Structure 1
Amino acid sequence: MEMMVILSQEHPELPSAELKSVLRSEGIEFSLIEDGRGYVILDAPSSTWKILKGRLAYAHEICRVIGYSTTGGIEGTAEKIDWKSHIKGSFAVRIKKLTGEVDARELERGLGAIIKNKTGARVDLENPWTLVRPVLIDDRFILTLRLAEISKDHFNKARPHRRPFFYPGSMSPKLARCMVNLAGVRSGDRLLDPFCGTGGILIEAGLMGVRVMGADIDWRMVEGTRKNLQHYGITDFEVIRSDAKDLRLEGGVDAIVTDPPYGISASTAGERSEKLYREFLNSAYSNLKEDGVICMAAPHYIDLEGLIDDRFTVREKYSMRMHRSLTRIIRVIETV
């Protein structure tokens, strides 16, 4: 099935990277048709949208592509489509403008009239069974049917200050989910966060069926993370008090996803920071399974590439500006 994923434009690269990583980790065969600003069009098995709906952080909608048209030729294209095979129950037409300008209301009325004439289906603007979704990109339309709208309710409810245990400086659930996805894990895999803090990364992984393990040197964080995981109904977890550099696990993990504490200002970042990251990488290598992956955030002033030895390679790297004095660098690191 040819489908279109309408992406968040909160970051120029992360949404598309997250989507591709989920497809690969789930073993889904796909071919990329277009990778554009705010959208991806791909060919994949028809059940793919159900998996994507449950995993993606930086996406808004998943749609089935049924046609392509110029802006001026959309009604002519619509006349040629077998709408009876697509419209189930009531319907509505809502244009999505990514780039470009058209009179959306006029076109929606015109397309609605064509579809109603061809199918006899009832128009329901409030709660349609089928949503026809023409997506405008510059001077052309991608004609689609919406398969799923990705709810943001979870990301709002799971904001750090709304959890039973809160501590300032926690990562947003959306970025935490994205980092878990970039690590390429799937349900049943084992994931470690050795600087778990309040457990935000573990929550997002656990909700996807990943077996999670967390560690923190601070007992308050250990107890708080346990409380937060239980609050979200996650039962397959282990959280222990341990210094990340001393952590030794039996059996190893498939991925390490973490956001080490910054704790040291950019002006004093030096030997102490380098020592922390070097020790973390040594511990990470000993705890990862063969072909294990690290997805980690670090402040821009840490030269992580200078600390990575020949046991690792940086596969992906993304910059995310947090505020005037801090940019987070998200890296996906593979063992060699």
Structure 2
Amino acid sequence: MEIALILSGEHKTLPPSEVKSLLEAENTKYKIKYHRDKLMILEIQTDKIPNLSRLAYTHEISQVISKTTPRKFEEKIRSIPWEKIIEDNFAVRAKKIEKTTTDSPIIEKRTGTIIKKSHPHLQVNLESPKTLIRLMIEKDKIFITKRLYKIDKKHFNVAKPHKRPFFYPGSMSPKLARCMVNLSGVRKGERLLDPFCGTGGILIEAGIVGAKIIGADIDPKMIKGTEKNLKYYGIRDYELIMADARSLKLEKPVKAIVTDPPYGISASTRGEKQEKLYKEFLKTAKYNLQEDGRICIATPHYLQLENITDEFKIKEKHAIRMHKSLTRLIYTLEKDSGGSHHCK
């Protein structure tokens, strides 16, 4: 089975990496058949559609029916057994993945007309169709797909840091926090730790996807604020600890550590040099992480983890420009038995 994902395009490397991490976490075998800009086509080696609804940087998931060229498009539409694909009623929507001369309304109308002509019993419903035929158009290719679902992004708007009961400047956006949770590979029911939990943004996203969450912070004000925020978003299964991340020792290791340690003018590192803070935190992180676990951590661009840790190997590294003076680096780390580093 082939599925098509429309990626958000907000970043070049994060959206595809997030997809891959989630599929690997769910033990879904896949092959990337095609990936260009915002379109990713995967061959999934299972009959069951994987649940990818927790993705942050993906808009839609569709099942691929066929692939063709603009020249052979109408011929291809006529050859598809639509009675086996369309449930009750349908609509056709085209999405240009890159700039083309193809006119979306014309190709939508033409496709609908061809389907209707050969299958008069199938009804068109433009408002709320049971089946949405999604045409994904590139210069030299058209992917004909049936939309499985659209990922609901409303949460990312209502969970913006300033809309939470407890707010503190410098909090990460919920979309990036969700992406980092997904990059960690944590599954529903598995334990996730944020040792610099701040206002609880990462914990909120991890709790929503079903992880068992543990948050720690050196500041009692942050612990109280995080609790308030978690309750506000209906998250009940959590543990909060007032502790210094550099000396935190959990009774039982966790599957994932996802964190955004403090940096910048608004953040307090209690007078510690940041590099020293990261180095000491990563030493205890090794103790708190399962052997097969993963860390996803954000750093400012001037802090390169390659120069700071020997305990972990770097699986991935992504750079996100936040504003003129700050680029954030998002790392995924795994335990390193040999002390070598590699990076995708």
Structure 2-normalised TM-score? Answer: 0.93
3-state SS, counterpart of residue 97 of structure 2? strand
1:84–1:118 CA contact under 8 A, matched in 2: no
> Residues 62-87 of structure 1: CA distance to partner in whole angstroms, max 9, x if unpaired?
00100111112211110110011011
Instruction: Give per-residue Cα distances to partners, 1:154-205, cap 9 Å, x unaligned.
Output: 1111111111111111100100000011011101111100000010101111
Is the counterpart of residue 64 in structure 1 residue 63 in structure 2? yes
Tell me, yes or no, if structure 1 residue 42 matches structure 2 residue 42: yes
Contact 1:264 1:273 in 2 (8 A): no
> How far, CA to CA, are the matches of 1:17 and 1:303 in structure 2?
20
Q: Which runs of 4+ in 1 moved over 2 A?
A: 45-49
Number of the residue aligned with 2:340:
none
Residue 10 of structure 2 aligns with an amino acid whose one-letter code is E
After TM superposition, list the pairs within 5 Å mapping 1:110-259 onto structure 2: 110-120=110-120, 121-259=122-260
Structure 2 SS opposite 1:94: strand
Q: Which runs of 5+ in 2 are unaligned?
A: 337-344
Report how far residue 246 of structure 1 moved.
1.4
Check conservation: 1:6, 1:40, Cα contact below 8 A.
Answer: yes
Aligned equivalent of 1:3: 3
Name the CA distance, whole Å, in 2 between partners of 1:68 and 1:134: 10
Equivalent AA in structure 2 for residue 229 of structure 1: L
Q: Percent identity?
A: 53
Supply the AA of the counterpart residue of 1:103: D
Q: How many residues align?
A: 329
SS at match of 2:197: coil
Aligned to 1:90: 89
Change in Cα spacing, 1:104 to 1:154, as seen in structure 2 (3 Å) is same
Secondary structure, aligned partner of 2:52: helix
Tell me, in whole angstroms, the C-alpha distance in 1 between the residues paired with 2:76 and 2:222: 58
* Distance (Å, rounded) in 2 between the aligned partners of 1:46 and 1:249: 40
Specify the alignment match of 2:296 in structure 1. 295
Deviation (angstroms), 1:35: 2.1
* Aligned mates of 2:172, 2:133 — CA distance in 1: 36
In structure 1, how many angstroms separate the alpha carbons of the residues matched to 2:163 and 2:27?
35
Match of 1:326 in 2: 326
SS state at 1:31 partner: strand
CA distance in 2, matches of 1:124, 1:176: 37
Distance 2:289 2:195 in 1: 12
**How far apart, CA to CA, are the structure 2 residues paired with 1:119 and 1:220?**
64
Q: Give the aligned partner of residue 286 of structure 1.
A: 287
Deviations 1:126-155 (A, max 9, x none): 111111111002221000011101111111
Q: TM-score, normalised by structure 1?
A: 0.95
Report the alpha carbon displacement of residue 264 of structure 1 after superposing the two structures with TM: 5.7
Aligned equivalents of 1:46, 1:16: Cα separation in 2:
22
Is the 8 Å Cα contact of residues 83 and 118 (structure 1) preserved in structure 2? no
> Deviation of residue 234 (structure 1)?
1.2
Matched AA of 1:335:
K
Q: CA deviation at 1:125?
A: 1.1
Identify the structure with the greater helix proportion: 1
Tell me by how many angstroms 1:247 deviates.
0.5
- In the alignment, which residue of structure 1 is the partner of 2:28? 28
SS of aligned partner of 1:72: coil
Residue aligning to 1:15: 15
For 2:55 and 2:118, locate their aligned partners in 1 and report how far apart those are by CA, in whole Å: 36
One-letter identity of the residue aligned with 2:103: D
Residue 211 of structure 1 and its aligned partner are, at CA, apart by 0.5
Q: CA deviation at 1:263?
A: 3.4
